[in-house]
Amino acid sequence: MVINMENYIKPIIPIIESNYSNFTQVEKSIADFFINNGEKINFSAKSIAEKLFVSEASLSRFAKKCGYRGYREFIYQYEESFVEKNEFTTSNIKLVLNTYQELLNKAYKLIDEAQVARISDYLSNYRVFVCGMGYSGLAAKEMSMRFMRIGVDINSVTDSDLIKMTTVFQNSNCLSIGISISGEKKEVMFFLKESHKNGAKTILITSNNKDSFKEFCDEVVLVPTRSRLDFGNVISPQFPISIMIDILYSCYSEQDKYKKEIMHDNTIKALKGNTIENLY
């Protein structure tokens, strides 16, 4: 099945969620309304300001923090992607699949193609260390294994003590990738901050777009959050990260595609104890 991404409606909710930590308390109350609202109503600035007991100026500031020129542009995009929620669903299977679909739609909204291209170039030119704990650590190990098979010099670091020790050896020849959905895992933050101090290129994969990340991250890669999704507890926390890893893998493998295909096949042959093909 071929998915035509041009037919996807780009939702605005992931933009609100990724900027949530940057909002004031008033702006968070506005964000909560738009995130949780499931009813088609009058979304005019006057109507929403009265409904939420906020000023129209607060709505404008909120919209600008989300990256829009003002509330009018924000609400146009919101209404374009709005789908009323059906509260009466009996099928667990449908709930799970709908949650996956929403995550995919959110991922599409957050993707920065220019950023993906830059990271693909980094993977070709640096020694790579990818760090994570818990479910993010499992994703880091998977990323390491997959990219190693197509020629990337990459290692995963998922133990707390090893993470700290690894930072000592980071330098300008290294690319340090940290994975933390919340953006708050102290081991991952330590890894990126120390790597940055030592001159390494640094990337954070997260769902939380904090302004402070810019101080020690060259790239902040946003993935969709699952914390505010209905029925979210049954969805693997790795899924949003896996989407991004697949996108990076696809983009990177397209560069010198023939050579990378041979590398991949050779790793499979090596695992089976078979003779590998000469690349050169």
- Name all domains of the chain by residue range, CATH numbers in brackets: 10-85 (1.10.10.10), 108-271 (3.40.50.10490)
> What are 114-141's pLDDT values in tens digits?
999 999 999 999 999 999 999 899 999 9
CB-neighbour burial class of residue 142 (10 A; exposed 0-12, middle 13-18, buried 19+): middle
Of 5-9, 211-215, 261-265, the poorest mean pLDDT is in 5-9
User: Residue 91: pLDDT band by 50, 70, 90 thresholds?
Assistant: low
User: Residue 270: pLDDT band by 50, 70, 90 thresholds?
Assistant: low
| Cβ within 8 Å of residue 135, ≥6 positions away | 236, 237, 238
Sign of the alpha-carbon torsion through 185, 190, 196, 199: negative
What amino acid is encoded at 184 in this protein?
E
Sign of the alpha-carbon torsion through 271, 173, 177, 101: negative
> What are 4-26's pLDDT values in tens digits?
444 444 578 888 988 888 899 99
Mean pLDDT in residue range 240-263: 79
User: Residue 264: pLDDT band by 50, 70, 90 thresholds?
Assistant: low
Predicted TM-score (pTM) above 0.75: no
